[in-house]
Structure 1
Amino acid sequence: MGVKHRVKNILNFQKPASWIRVVALIFCIGVALCFLTNPKNSPTPEAAIARALGLAENEITVFGTYETWEDGWYILGFLADHSEARSDLGAALFRREGDQYSLESYYRCKDGAISQDRIVVCSFSKTPSKYDVILSNNENLARIQRTINGVADSSYVGGTIPGMTVLRCPDDQYSSAEFQFYDQSGRQIDDYVASNTMLNRGEYEPKGIVSLALWSSATPGYFLESAVGTTFGIYPERFQVSITDATRAAFVGNVLHENPQYITADVGDRIEIMSSRGENGPEPLTMDVSFYSPRLCYQVLTADGTDTGYRVFRMGGETWIGHWGLYGTAQNGWWCEYIFRVNPSGAGLLGSAILKFAVSGMDSSR
């Protein structure tokens, strides 16, 4: 076909009839609405829960049974991946309301705990009942054990990898939680997070300065005065930093992270205040906290697991809140901007039945 003939065809082209254009437009609108109401990248509730637990999406069949279960609380004991040698152990607390269910809290023991023959006991209790999630690679030990008025009843995980079991909890809330770790001989392990690890929910106000960046142009006293009116909000559905008109420009606030993750880590004897992420960087600058007991740190992550830089510490009977960030021309310096000693204002107890917890062996300042 010659060029002249093709040009003639183009010039003779007729637009489709009006009704065809209307039908096509309606079809396009319908397709767009389908994508808006059911976007491809929007995870199902099962996938979202599995992702929070560190499970692959093909390992979420256990959650499908929730479609037929009644409203209420459920405890899950799990191994988080198929690799027995590197599998993580964990316990999770779920709640179902209507056609929605959510991961209220979870506790995860990382770094190949199963290969170290460790037994993890996660306890959720409310008088007169107590639930012990006993996690082990020994199928005769791994179970969820319910004790009511001194009478124990167990649901065993069994011999599958990953092993999972779910138990319905008749109580509607849990006022305390204990997390203890044992080896195969039954000896308690003290180098993991101690028992009775609780974090208070609510609003916190700066009370004093624990640490202030060396490069700060403000004195600790002035920086604390500049934070007047600042509040830190710690809730299961949000972590926020709010300021008022009284707050001076030296302190930056108004931060909001919805559906945060609170990752629990053992602090150790020292907290890194300044460190370099390069191979040839200077030695880290640390702060000695060995005289505090217990020492716990909650790393605040976004819903998708991004580090916000915020840390909440339980140091003895004190609560600290600090912020870390990347600095330097190469953005390879991981430095603490400040750590406040804070006072709660109208705080209620926020235990494992509300917060999303995860155990890790990482440094508390990273």
Structure 2
Amino acid sequence: MKSGLFILHLRGSTNGAKVVSKLISERYSSENDIIDIATSYGPSNGKLSAQKVVESILFCLQVIYKSLVKKYTFIYYSITPHGFAFYRDVASLLIIKSLTAKKITLHFHVEIKNNFLVKALKKINFFKEIFAICINQSQKERLVLLTGIPAEHIRVIPNRILPCKNIDFLSKHENISQKIRRHRKIILCISNFLEGKGIEDTVSAYLEIRNNHPSSYLIIAGNIVDEAYFKKIMKKIDLIDPNRERIKVFINLKGKAKEKALKHASVLLFPSKLPETFGLVNLEALEAGLAIISYKTPSSHYFIDEKVNGYTADSVEGLAKHLEYILSQPSAFESMMRSSLEKSKKFDTEIFFKELESALSL
């Protein structure tokens, strides 16, 4: 008999929840039941659709059946705390709580919004007996405040999702040596085109240092989530570099093309102004051996050891200042890139699985 139930996100666009869900499915599916909660095969806007309603009904029926028939020792739920999916998840949790007294653990990959439903659930102590996993300490504090989940019921577990045993670190260190020897230096910004992601600050920071470093180039890559914001960014770039000689923009960069961009880049700019719970691209940058310059986010401390493998900043001027320094100091630049690569080893999947199993009492 299967001992536990994992409710996961196995479809849709790539994000932390999907990557973690796939790892969990591959690791635990032989001894536990798996339900795919995702109602989208691509990027989702969180709005209601007929497909989502039908799939959500089928999902709830699966939950009812399995909760009645199976005697699970635990239930792990990768929750989506916003949009239509949150209402579906709450309905499912009401069913689960009414049918089983087993331990329920919710995994919050993104921030929960303090809307009327969250307030109502807190008022009736809905979350009182719930356990939770979140990504960083500040997210934990907000969960306690907004939901009433007891602090002792919440584990902070970063997305340690790098299979380090399969990574050739010697080759990556050699690639860093090659990048240092190259005259051309590539600055990379990978982010969705969305208000708050700070892509305009990336362009402004690069503009400040561009003349001092004629061999530097900026690559911006991401999906268009907000069409108006994308047009605003492109208009700004057209004024600065109309012939795209120094600034390149790529849409929907993924797979081999994304790997190539990370391989040839030397530094990642991550100027997001949003409360990023993790920021998957930072982890990709560590694995590729990139120095990282980022605005301070709830998760920036996971990826950046200040002055060791990068810097945090709080303004365009700060981004430009740090970028100017590392481009002007080859030895410090090389040290930062190698430090990033070594830091990536702290995100080994085996560490994540140990932390997860401890949280689920496996």
Establish whether TM, by shorter chain, passes 0.5: no
Give the TM-score taking structure 2 as reference length: 0.28
**Structure richer in helix, relative to its length:** 2
**Structure richer in strand, relative to its length:** 1
